[in-house]
Amino acid sequence: MEVFNNINKMQEWSLQTRKQGNSIGLVPTMGYLHDGHLSLVEEAKKKCDKVVVSIFVNPLQFGQGEDFEEYPRDLSRDSSLLEAAGVDAIFAPSAREMYPTGFSSSVEVSGEITEKMCGASRPGHFKGVTTVCTKLFHACLPDMAFFGQKDAQQLLIIKKMVRELNFPLKIVPVPIVREEDGLALSSRNVYLEGVQRQEALVLIKALKQAEEQIRGGERDITRLIGAIKATIATSPQAKIDYVEILNGDNLSGLERIEGRVLIALAVKFGKTRLIDNLLVEV
């Protein structure tokens, strides 16, 4: 397995790999890998000849007072996991390599898709995400890039960027991987302290209840959101950031439940902000 810290070296490897007739699958991550990340790797291995995993905690997508400094990092553990998973190359650049002094470019998707949900609570976050993904795509030259449904809004924004700016690659969505009890895997789960881990189960409980209500014929969004909030409120530590039910393809608002809907939420347990979602098709 190759490990690249340098953008030019990464690009050379990718150009050479493509010249030899191989397709490249890219899995962008911020590291501290778990089985959710590894399911993206598995999907990439199925669909592409060579797999590159990028590991980069991107300062641009963290706001003031967020957890950039504390974000968990363990490159040597990540490397062992990826080697065992049969990955061909790791791209792990430093922040200085990605954003040298004087760096002032950005790529931004504007409009309601980036303004609601996490875009409302984390201003500038998605501009950081689209800028870093552009750089990762240019460095790794993938035919396909794999993104988790866990970050549903990110996935839709990246798809829109790739479509509108004609990036020559395909975005492949991968389902959410959960713990046995239903908690969505996240690198941030290690922050959960004491009872917070148990209380975090209200998220999947509330999402599943809403899904059942929809399957039972409920079409009223205000009532569904009210029920989700009431369930989350049974956890004393939970502080709701948002609960939204939106069009699952473009995050536009809905009058009532129809088509593919995304039920998405962000909730804080102490300092730890968790996101989760379910897609429901009616």
Q: Which is nearer to ligand AMP, 119 or 148 (CB)?
A: 148
Q: Which is nearer to ligand AMP, 37 or 127 (CB)?
A: 37
**Does 62 engage in binding with ligand AMP (CB under 6 A)?**
no
Query: Minimum distance from CB of 146 to ligand AMP (Å)?
Result: 7
- Burial annotation 98-120 (CB, 10 A radius, 16+ → b, else e): bbeeeeeeeeebeeebbebbbbe
> Under rule CB under 6 A, which residues in 198-237 are in contact with ligand AMP?
none
Select from 38, 87, 184, 261 the one that contacts ligand AMP (CB under 6 A).
184
**Does 183 engage in binding with ligand AMP (CB under 6 A)?**
no
Q: Which is nearer to ligand AMP, 36 or 128 (CB)?
A: 36
Q: Write each residue from 109 to 148 as x if it is in contact with ligand AMP (CB under 6 A), else as -, in one continuous string.
A: --------------------------------------xx
CA distance 133 to 145: 10
Select from 44, 92, 156, 174 the one that contacts ligand AMP (CB under 6 A).
174
Q: Which is nearer to ligand AMP, 244 or 276 (CB)?
A: 276
Query: Minimum distance from CB of 27 to ligand AMP (Å)?
Result: 7
Q: Which is nearer to ligand AMP, 186 or 231 (CB)?
A: 186
CA distance 60 to 130: 10
Query: Minimum distance from CB of 151 to ligand AMP (Å)?
Result: 4
113 neighbors 157 (Cβ within 8 angstroms): yes
Contacts 24+ apart (CB under 8 A), 37-46: 38/81, 38/85, 39/148, 39/174, 39/175, 39/177, 40/146, 40/147, 40/148, 40/174, 41/82, 41/85, 41/87, 41/146, 42/85, 43/146, 43/172, 43/174, 44/144, 44/146, 44/172, 45/85, 45/86
Query: Minimum distance from CB of 257 to ligand AMP (Å)?
Result: 25
Which helix (H) or strand (E) element contains residue 127? helix 125-140
Select from 81, 90, 118, 185 the one that contacts ligand AMP (CB under 6 A).
185
**Does 176 engage in binding with ligand AMP (CB under 6 A)?**
yes
**Does 29 engage in binding with ligand AMP (CB under 6 A)?**
yes
254 neighbors 247 (Cβ within 8 angstroms): yes
Catalytic site positions:
37
Q: Are strands 24-29 and 2-4 parallel, antiparallel or unpaired?
A: unpaired
